[in-house]
Structure 1
Amino acid sequence: MLIVPEREIAELMTREAAFDAVEKVFAAMAAGDAYNFPVVREAIGHEDALYGFKGGFDRAGLTLGLKAGGYWPNNLEKRGLINHQSTVFLFDPDTGKAIAMVGGNLLTALRTAAASSVSIRHLARKDAKVIGMVGAGHQAKFQLRAALEQRDFEKVIGWNRHPEMLKNLEDIAAEAGLPFEAVELDGMRQADVIVTITSSFAPILMKDHVSPGTHIACMGTDTKGKQEVDAQLLAGARVFTDEIAQSVTIGESQHAIAAGLIAETDIAQLGAVINGTDPGRSSDDQITLFDGTGVGLQDLAVAAAVVELAAEKGVATEVEL
Structure 2
Amino acid sequence: MKTLLLNKDEVGSLIDLDAVLEAVENGYKSFNSGKVVQPDFMSIELPGSHACIDFKGGLDLAGGYITIKSSAGGYKGNPELGLPTGMNTVMLFEASTGALRCVMDGTWITGCRTAAAGAISVKNLAREDARTLCIIGAGNQARRQLRAIIRVRDFSEVLVWNASPQALDEYVREMSEETGLNIRKCETAEEAVRAADVVVTTTRAHRGPVVKKEWLKPGTHIVAIGSDMPGKQELGADIFKEAKVVNDSVELCVKYGDTQHPVKEGIIKPEDIHAEIGEILLGEKVGRENSEEITIFDSVGMAIQDTVTVAMLYKAALDKGLGTPYEFFK
Structures share a fold, TM > 0.5? yes
Q: Secondary structure at the match of 1:213?
A: coil
Identify the range of structure 1 (175-184 vs 94-103) with the bigger mean alpha-carbon deviation.
Answer: 175-184
Identify if the C-alpha distance between structure 1 residues 278 and 81 changes in structure 2 by more than 3 Å, giving closer, same or farther: farther
The CA RMSD measured in Å over matched residues stands at 1.6
CA displacement at 1:227 relative to structure 2: 0.5
Measure, in 2, the Cα distance between the counterparts of 1:245 and 1:2: 34
- Contact kept, 8 Å, 1:203 with 1:229, in 2: the verdict is yes
Q: Distance in 2 between matches of 1:150 and 1:142?
A: 13
Q: Give the superposition deviation at 1:238.
A: 0.8
Give the Cα separation in 1 of the matches to 2:21 and 2:81. 31
In 1, the alpha carbon distance for the partners of 2:250 and 2:82 equals: 36
Q: Say whether 1:250 aligns with 2:256.
A: yes
**Secondary structure at the residue paired with 2:260?**
helix
Q: Give, as a single letter, the amino acid of the residue that structure 1 aligns with 2:321.
A: G
Equivalent residue runs for 1:120-159 within 5 Å: 120-159=122-161
SS at match of 1:158: strand
8 A contact 2:67–2:306 mirrored in 1? no
1:176 aligns with 2:179: yes
**Partners of 1:86 and 1:315 in 2: CA distance:** 20
Structure 1 partner of 2:244: 238
Q: Which residue, out of 248, 251, 262, partners 2:268?
A: 262
- Please name the residue that 1:319 is paired with: 326
Distance of 2:136 and 2:305 partners within structure 1: 23
Distance 1:242 1:18, change over 3 A: same
Aligned partner of 2:194 in structure 1 is: 189
The range that moved more, 239-248 or 63-72, is 63-72
Whether the 8 Å contact between 2:20 and 2:116 is mirrored in structure 1 is yes
Q: Which moved more, 1:86-95 or 1:181-190?
A: 181-190
**Higher mean Cα deviation, 306-315 or 64-73?**
64-73
Secondary structure in structure 2 of the residue aligned to 1:91: strand
CA, structure 1 residues 88+266, in 2 after alignment: closer, same or farther (shift >3 Å)? Answer: same
Change (3 A) 1:78 1:116: farther
- Deviation of 1:89 after TM superposition, in Å, equals 0.7
2:226 paired residue number: 220
Aligned ranges 1:195-210 → 2 under 5 Å? 195-201=200-206, 202-210=208-216
TM-score of the pair, normalised by structure 2:
0.93
Gaps of 5+ in 2: none
SS at match of 2:43: strand
Aligned partner of residue 312 in structure 2, secondary structure: helix
2:127 & 2:114 partners in 1: Cα distance?
A: 21
Amino acid at match of 2:228: D
State the 1:289 CA deviation. Answer: 0.6
Question: By how many angstroms is 1:236 displaced?
Answer: 2.3
Q: What letter corresponds to residue 279 of structure 1 in structure 2?
A: V
Q: For residues 162-214 of structure 1, give each alpha carbon's deviation from its aligned partner in whole angstroms, at most 9, with x where no partner exists.
A: 12211343121342222222222222111111110011221111111211101
Match of 1:118 among 113, 117, 120: 120
Work out the CA distance in 2 between the residues paired with 1:91 and 1:281: 38
Over 6 Å off, 4+ runs: none
**Which range moves more in the overlay, 37-46 or 285-294?**
37-46
Aligned residue type for 1:241:
N
Question: 1:72, 1:85 within 8 Å by CA — same for their partners in 2?
Answer: no
CA distance in 2: counterparts of 1:177 and 1:152, whole angstroms: 12
Q: Is the 8 A contact 1:107 1:303 kept in 2?
A: yes
Quote the Cα distance in structure 1 between the aligned partners of 2:280 and 2:223: 15
Matched to 2:240, the amino acid is L
**TM-score of the superposed pair, with normalisation by structure 1:** 0.95
Tell me the equivalent position of 1:293. Answer: 300
What is the percentage of aligned positions where both structures have the same residue? Answer: 34
Q: CA deviation at 1:19?
A: 0.7
C-alpha distance after superposition, 1:275-306 (max 9, x if no partner): 11111111111111111101111111111111
Q: Which runs of 5+ in 1 are unaligned?
A: none
For residues 158 and 76 of structure 1, the distance between their equivalents in structure 2, rounded to whole angstroms, comes to 30
